[in-house]
Amino acid sequence: MNKKELTEKAKLHLWVLCFEIGERRVGSEANRKATAYVKKVLEESGWKTEATELSVIDWKTDGAILTYNGQLFEVFSSPYSLGCSLQGELIAIHTVDQLKQADMKDKIVLLYGEITSQQIAPKNFPFWNPEEHQYIISLLERGNPKALVCATERNSAIVGGVYPFPLFEDGDFDIPSVYMKDTEGEKLLACTGQIVELESKAVRISETAFNVIARNNVETAKRIVITAHIDTKIGTPGAIDNGTGVSIVLLLAEMLKKQPPKYPIELVFFNGEDYYGVPGQVKYLKQNAGKFGDILLNINIDGVGYREGLSCFSALDIPGNMRGILQEILLNTPEIVEGLPWYQGDHSMFLQNGCPAIAVSSQWLIENIECQDITHTSKDNLSIVGYERVAECAIGIAEFVNRL
Ligand SMILES: [Zn+2]
């Protein structure tokens, strides 16, 4: 297939994933539609597939309301939080020291300023979990407040373009919480010591989701694992994050069938990269415990195809022979450049288990990670996709894998 044909196919996959299906949050019907779609395409290309069931929670809210004496404050239910309908005395906390000393029992706690500068890692998140975050969570759980109101600022480096950002996005943390803009928090500060009313119409729902894995018939040597996460955050159709990555793996499924590499290939659609519990990744880790030595290389595709700038391949801990092949491909492909190392993706899991990895993404996104306002928002839609970039990445990866 030439670049033009691949570009057209990429368009079709992206149309289905990001327009017909749209937001693919873990546990939703749309998410299951997306995994069924990739499974069907893989089988049509002749791959043996496996869908691994994951027990997850889906989450919905009909909104949240915070009032004091008739005055309304704009708040949002924290994703995956429990709902509530209650009233209590408002206290305000802005440092960890204050949190240590505060009597929070039966209060509604406004968290603002320093303590809300970074999103708190989910309680059971396996890959990145600073002690300070766990400490804040344990202080809150011990203090047992009725609910939390979190005022947050703009922070693109950590949460993409989301403002305000939810301080907690954690289905394992059971204190009901809402979040609001820092500017709204400043107004609410005037109400400390008063009785405020809070309602958050959020519900957690037990659901299922799937990892989809496909394998070719080669079973001799170490395998190459090509990965893309299929889930999105709530509120985005996830075009660049990560409809394009999913589409590239589907293109590769066709290309590598027609021109099979000599290594075993495993194509993995992970469910959960953008979800608090990363269930698909945790499941894969368990399934492969003690067996990461059988993996020659991980190629993880996430954030590819932004219409501005080029695509980039970031080589992480790869051996000399692979580096040589990669350099040749980069030399012959002006649309792909070597990228800076970055670690906020599923390739980190492979690196942590001693496997080399290549992370495929958009140069513009990696270089502007701290100032862009697209990721995890409704702006991440098909209008920002450069379809040719998607086809070029598929061609570059196929060539690399075939030359190993
Ligand atoms: Zn992503």
* DSSP symbols for 224-277: EEEEEE----TT---IIIIIHHHHHHHHHHHHHHHS--SS-EEEEEES-TTSTT
Give me 181's structure tokens: 């803009």
Establish if 53 belongs to a structural domain.
no
Pairing of strands 357-362, 177-181: unpaired
Distance 72 CA to ligand 1 centre (A): 35
Distance 382 CA to ligand 1 centre (A): 15
Same-domain pairing of 271 and 393? yes
Establish if 210 belongs to a structural domain.
no
Distance 375 CA to ligand 1 centre (A): 9
Question: For residues 249 and 304, is the Cβ–Cβ distance under 8 A?
Answer: no
Mean pLDDT, residues 303-321 taken together = 96
Distance 345 CA to ligand 1 centre (A): 7
Assign 217 a pLDDT band (cuts: 50, 70, 90).
confident
Distance 361 CA to ligand 1 centre (A): 10
* pLDDT surpassing 90 at residue 154: no
Question: For residues 112 and 151, is the Cβ–Cβ distance under 8 A?
Answer: yes
Mean pLDDT, residues 279-291 taken together = 96
Of all residues in the chain, the percent with pLDDT exceeding 70 is 98
Count of the separate structural domains present in the chain: 2
Distance 90 CA to ligand 1 centre (A): 37
Give the per-residue pLDDT at 127: 83
Whole-model pTM: value is: 0.92
> What burial class does residue 47 get, using C-beta atoms within 10 Å of its C-beta: 0-12 exposed, 13-18 middle, 19+ buried?
buried
* pLDDT surpassing 90 at residue 375: no
* pLDDT surpassing 70 at residue 157: no
* pLDDT surpassing 80 at residue 370: no
Q: By C-alpha distance, which of 209, 351, 214, 359 is closest to 285? A: 351
CATH number, domain with residue 270: 3.40.630.10
Assign 310 a pLDDT band (cuts: 50, 70, 90).
very high
Distance 25 CA to ligand 1 centre (A): 12
Distance 48 CA to ligand 1 centre (A): 25
Give the per-residue pLDDT at 373: 81
Same-domain pairing of 154 and 93? yes
Establish if 208 belongs to a structural domain.
no
Last residue of a domain, one of 203, 237, 267: 203
* pLDDT surpassing 80 at residue 46: yes
Q: What is the pLDDT of residues 65-90, one digit of tens each?
A: 999 999 999 999 999 999 999 999 99
Distance 322 CA to ligand 1 centre (A): 25
Distance 108 CA to ligand 1 centre (A): 34
Last residue of a domain, one of 149, 180, 203: 203
* pLDDT surpassing 70 at residue 161: no
Give the Cα separation of 42 and 53 in Å (integer): 18
Same-domain pairing of 223 and 343? yes
Domain that residue 94 falls in:
61-203
Q: What is the pLDDT of residues 85-130, one digit of tens each?
A: 999 999 999 999 999 999 999 999 999 999 999 999 999 998 888 9
Give the Cα separation of 350 and 70 in Å (integer): 53
Distance 390 CA to ligand 1 centre (A): 15
SS3 state at 89: strand
Same-domain pairing of 147 and 246? no
Distance 228 CA to ligand 1 centre (A): 8
Q: By C-alpha distance, which of 202, 367, 218, 185 is closest to 296? A: 218
* pLDDT surpassing 70 at residue 292: yes
